[in-house]
Amino acid sequence: MSERKKAVMRRVTMKDVARRAGVSQPTVSFVLNDRRDVSVSEATRERVLKAARDLDFQPNRAAQSLRSNKSFVIGVIADRVVSQPYAGQIIVGVQQAVQAAGYVCFVVETWETPDAGQAAVENLLRQGVAGLIYAAPGPEPVHAVEAPDGIPTIFVNCWPANVPDPTLVLADEYQGGRDAAAATFAAGHRHVVYLGGPHDDYACQERERGMVDAAIEAGVDPATIRREYGTYQVSSGHDLALAVIADETPTAFICGNDRMAVGAMMALQSAGLQCPRDVSIVGFDDQPDLADQLHPPLSTVALPHLQMGVLAGEMMLRDEEPRGRHLVPCRYIGRGSLAAPRSVDAR
């Protein structure tokens, strides 16, 4: 049996690497821990690194933590994120970013805990995590447990009401709303209705702000755009769209999210109208197994959950915690639910 196969059957130690490289165990430690303050020739360094690769040496992070007093665990405080099929990509992104550097994530779900997860977070801190990442399924305020000095804390898709000058990673909701509306106006639509989420919701406000700027750029008076507000649910989109259709038939609905867009499609169907022949519909989220499975497939904006998680993980590994708000671009995806209005087609 080869030495490498034998190594698979038991954990390779620095002593094994030292024996393979023909050097002392302290020399292996100096090289693998990149101790540049200790004099080791370049030839010896290369010999040690080659021996470590040949034996597939994996560092013992627990031992390293004890020796260096450095943790290799990132605590992730998730509020309703784990159970969400697309928001869960935030955690996947964090893991992808930190695993390459030898870190692991310890995820705590705080949803419906009586103390909003405070006890769980305090326990994470007692375990000596290297940093904390808070994550939420949608942009919203969260309550953060005070962390000791030197423990970086990053908020993804959320922000703390009780932490001054926090580090935030958010989707660029404004840019996403602007791109969705710009595509609608570029298709020739001028009789547009906006079906948003709650009026005081951050995402709704940012997406609407982007729509207003896109309208101005397209030469459309924002005051002519009817705006109705709901709850981001299918039933809300259905009821709002039905109420609009009872008064007027716009050429396009720009919806606050994909679920409301589904409701609007159902309302069109019940009113004897078709999408996009009679009314085009644009959503927001690009919810997996929904937006691209509709008939017609939904034109929408993809939220960058994975990319937000990756950015948060990369920031956690930096020597200095970057303060302020960091926006991750959204991506507009054109599909079959958006077409030119019939009056434009006829020209």
**pLDDT tens column, 21-42:** 898 877 877 777 666 656 778 8
- With a cut of 90, say whether residue 69 has pLDDT above it: no
228 token code pair: 């109705």
Q: Provide φ and ψ at 36, rounded to 5°.
A: -75, -10
Burial of 45 (0-12, 13-18, 19+ CB in 10 A): middle
Distance CA 256, CA 205 (A): 10
Please state the rounded mean pLDDT for residues 320-335.
90
pLDDT digits (tens, 9 = 90+) for 154-177: 999 999 987 788 999 999 999 999
> What is the spatial distance between Cα 248 and Cα 223, in angstroms, rounded to a whole number?
16
Q: Tell me the per-residue pLDDT of 114-125, one tens digit each, with 9 for 90 and over.
A: 566 678 788 888
What is the model's pLDDT at position 67?
43
Q: Is 226 exposed, middle or buried (0-12, 13-18, 19+ CB in 10 A)?
A: middle
Domains of the chain from N-terminus onward: 3-59 (1.10.260.40), 73-172+305-330 (3.40.50.2300), 173-303+333-345 (3.40.50.2300)
C-beta of residue 64 within 8 angstroms of C-beta of residue 18: no
Phi, psi of 97 (to 5 degrees): -75, -40
The DSSP result for 47-65, as a single string, is HHHHHHHHTT----HHHHH
Nearest of 149, 167, 108, 180 to residue 334 by alpha carbon: 180
pLDDT band, residue 231 (cuts 50/70/90): very high
**What is the pLDDT averaged over residues 64-76?**
64
**The residue to which tokens 């960091």 are assigned:** 326
Look up residue 10 and give its amino acid.
R
Using alpha carbons, select from 308, 285, 309 the residue that is nearest to residue 91: 309
pLDDT at res. 344: 47
Over residues 304-327, the mean pLDDT reads 89
Phi, psi of 167 (to 5 degrees): -95, 115
pLDDT of residue 35: 65
Average pLDDT over every residue of 316-341? 90
Among residues 38, 6, 34, 33, which one has the least CA distance to residue 20? Answer: 6
